Amino acid sequence: MTNVKFGVLSTAKIGLEQVIPAIKRSEYAEVLAIASRDDKSIKIAEEMAIPKAYTSYEELLDDPEIDAVYIPLPNNLHKHWVIEAAKKGKHVLCEKPATLNSEELAEIFEVCEKYGVTFMEAFMYQFHPQHDKVKELIMSGEIGDVSFMRSSFSFLLDDLTNIRMVKELGGGSLYDVGCYTLHSIRNIIGQEPTKVYASAKLQPETGVDTTVAGVMSFANGVEASFDCSFDSTSRQTYEVVGSNGTIEVLGAFRPDQNEDGKGIIRVKKDGEVSEQKVESDQYKEQVDNFANAILNQTEPRYTKDDMMKQMKLLEACLQSIDSGESVKLL
C-alpha cells in the first residue's frame, strides 16, 4: 500500500467542506468512494471528482479497494458503523465524539483490535502546532507558574431541526463543541482532572443541553473553567493564566477561520503584549497522521488511552449535569 484509499460514509457537510478536501491534499491518502442512503452521493461524486459512488453504506464497505473509511454520521450511529467497517477490515477515522459513552468506546476498541484495524476519533484541532507552541512557552517559564485555565467554544444555533438539537441522535453543545474545551484543558495542563462540576441550560422542546458551564480541578493545584453553547455568538478561545502573565489562543479550535487563516497566540506579560502567528493545515495534519499510522502500522498520535480519558471526562460532565453534584475522576 503506497497510500490509503478512503471511502466516506455519508454526504455530511463536515466531510464535503473539510475532511474530503483534506484527504485530497494529503500525499498519503486519496478519496476513492462516497456513499449515501440515496442517490445524493452520485451527484457529489461527480462534483468532487470522486471515482466511485454508492447508494448504501454496505456497498461501500464491501468494496475491496477501500482501505479506510471516514465516518461523519450522526453521533448515535458512530458505534454501529465503526463496528461494521472494522468487520470488513476497514481502518476507521470517525468524527467526534467517537461514541456516546465509555462502554461504547471500549466495545469499538475491542472490535477494531479483533479485526486488526486502526481506529481514531477525528479531533482535528489538536494537530495544529499552535498548541505545542503554547506548551513550550509554559515549559520555558514565560508566564511563571500556571494557576488557572479557561476554555470556551460557542456559536448561535436556533434551528431545532438541526441534528445537533436532537437528543436521540446524540445532540447537545457538550458533545458538539464542549468536547474541544475539555480536551484543550487536558492537553495544555498535561494532566487528568481529579474532579469536575458542570451545569447546563436545557432546550425545553428538545431536552438537549444548549449551554454548559463547568469547573475542574487538577492534582497539581491548577483550576480550570470551561463553557460551550449554541445560544451565544461565535467564540473559540482558551487562556492560560500564570503568576507572571497570560497566554491566550484566538481561534483556538478553528484557526482557519481567523482573518488570515493562522493561529494567534497572544502573550501578556509585564504590561506588554506580544503576538505569534502559527500557520498549519490541521485537517490535513490529522489525515496525514492517521494515514501514516496505517501505512507504518503504528498507533496514531491521538491514542486509545487519550480517547478513553477524554470520553470519561465528558461522561463525568454529563453525570454532574444530571446529579447537580461534582464528580470525582481519580
User: What digits encode the pLDDT tens for the residues 287-316?
Assistant: 999 999 999 999 999 999 999 999 999 999
User: Could you give the domains of the chain?
Assistant: 4-124 (3.40.50.720), 129-279+312-328 (3.30.360.10)
Residues 138-149 have a mean pLDDT of 98
First to last CA, the chain: 42
Beginning with the edge strand found earlier in the chain, give each strand of the sheet holding 231-242 in spatial order: 272-278, 263-269, 245-250, 231-242, 146-156, 223-229, 209-217, 195-202, 327-328
- Quick: pLDDT tens for 28-42: 999 999 999 999 999
Percent of the chain with pLDDT over 70: 100
Q: Is there a contact between 252 and 151 (Cβ–Cβ < 8 Å)?
A: yes
Grid cell locating 12: 455530511
Residues 12-30 have a mean pLDDT of 97
- Quick: pLDDT tens for 34-74: 999 999 999 999 999 999 999 999 999 999 999 999 999 99
Residues 234-258 have a mean pLDDT of 97
Grid cell locating 40: 445524493
Residues 203-222 have a mean pLDDT of 96
Q: Is 76 helix (H, G, I), strand (E, B) or coil?
A: helix
Residues 77-103 have a mean pLDDT of 98
Q: With bands split at pLDDT 50, 70 and 90, how would you rate the model's confidence at 186?
A: very high
Give the chain's mean pLDDT: 97
Alpha carbon separation from 41 to 62, 88, 101 (Å, rounded): 16, 21, 30
Residues 9-33 have a mean pLDDT of 97
Residues 167-183 have a mean pLDDT of 97
Per-residue confidence (pLDDT) for residue 174, from 0 to 100 = 98
Alpha carbon separation from 296 to 224, 287, 289, 292 (Å, rounded): 37, 14, 10, 6
Sequence letter at residue 205: E
Q: 31 pairs with which residues across the strands?
A: 6
Q: With bands split at pLDDT 50, 70 and 90, how would you rate the model's confidence at 1?
A: confident
User: Running DSSP on this structure, what letter comes out for residue 303?
Assistant: -
Is it the case that residue 330 has pLDDT exceeding 90? no
Is it the case that residue 89 has pLDDT exceeding 80? yes
